[in-house]
Amino acid sequence: MHANRLRKNSEFRLVYKEGQIYWSHYFILRCLKRPDSGKTRVGIAPSRKVRTAVERNKLKRRVRELHRQYECLIKDGMDLVVNIQIKALDVDFFTLKKDFEYLLKKSGLI
């Protein structure tokens, strides 16, 4: 799991600067095609409006699980950054899953 994560600030900045952006109700997805065709890497960034670490970590765990469920369907060779909006705190996992799937289809990743 750790190998397919964006970790460095420079990796995040590159996706923010050059990647395509897609919106849904609870997420903002930025996608950047990498020159290699290795496994798709994901970085998760909750909104800065989510104040407590408990809430930020809860959202990150949910998105990691969503990514795990769709991992085999997502195209390889991409860097993704998922920004989670604060209103995602107020909905259940199933609603987030539907929204995440909509976003992946909208972006052409699945």
Write out pLDDT tens, residues 21-41: 999 999 999 999 999 888 999
Dihedral angle sign, alpha carbons of residues 12, 16, 17, 20: positive
Kindly report, residue by residue over 38-90, the tens digit of the pLDDT.
899 999 999 999 999 999 999 999 999 999 999 999 999 999 999 999 999 99
CATH code reported for the domain at 2-107: 3.30.230.10
Question: What gap in Å lies between CA 27 and CA 105, rounded to an integer?
Answer: 13
At residue 3, the pLDDT reads: 73
Question: What gap in Å lies between CA 46 and CA 24, rounded to an integer?
Answer: 14
Give the global pTM.
Answer: 0.93
| pLDDT of 1 above 60 | no
